[in-house]
Amino acid sequence: MKKWIAIPLVVFASFALVFPTTITVLAKSKNTCVTLYEHINYKGRSITLCGDVKKLSKYNFNDKASSVKVSKSGEGVILFQHVNFKGKHIFLNPGSKISNFKKIKGLNDDISSVNIVG
């Protein structure tokens, strides 16, 4: 019986490591953090970034963001359509929230890099 119970726990623990619901990326001296959400209305997987990220694919979050919240401190954040801070972009002030990128043409599921301004 003990072996039967141990196997599902190991499988569950492995699943949680492979498919986390929240990822946090910290940087050394940035005051602003941004949280990207996989679905509208701040639902689904999320990733919190407190430093620049040239390629969201590194965190399995490329072209997946549908909503965003920016921390109230710092100077803001720039979300870019392409890797290496290229393509269409949007600047968000501290404290900004967008519950649905579908309302902003060309941004839903189309963010590939993030530049933390302050």
Q: What is the pLDDT of residues 34-49, one digit of tens each?
A: 999 999 999 999 999 9
Whole-number pLDDT of residue 8:
39
CA 73 to chain centre: 18
Classified as helix, coil or strand, 47 is strand
CA 25 to chain centre: 9
In terms of pTM, does the model score above 0.85? no
What percentage of the chain reaches a pLDDT higher than 90? 65
Instruction: For the chain, list the domains and their CATH numbers.
Output: 23-116 (2.60.20.10)
Q: What is the pLDDT of residues 61-105, one digit of tens each?
A: 999 999 999 999 989 999 999 999 999 999 999 999 999 999 887
The answer, yes or no, to whether residue 27 has pLDDT greater than 90, is no
d(CA 77, CA 56): 15
Picking from 85, 82, 86, 87, the residue whose alpha carbon sits closest to that of residue 111 is 82
d(CA 118, CA 92): 12
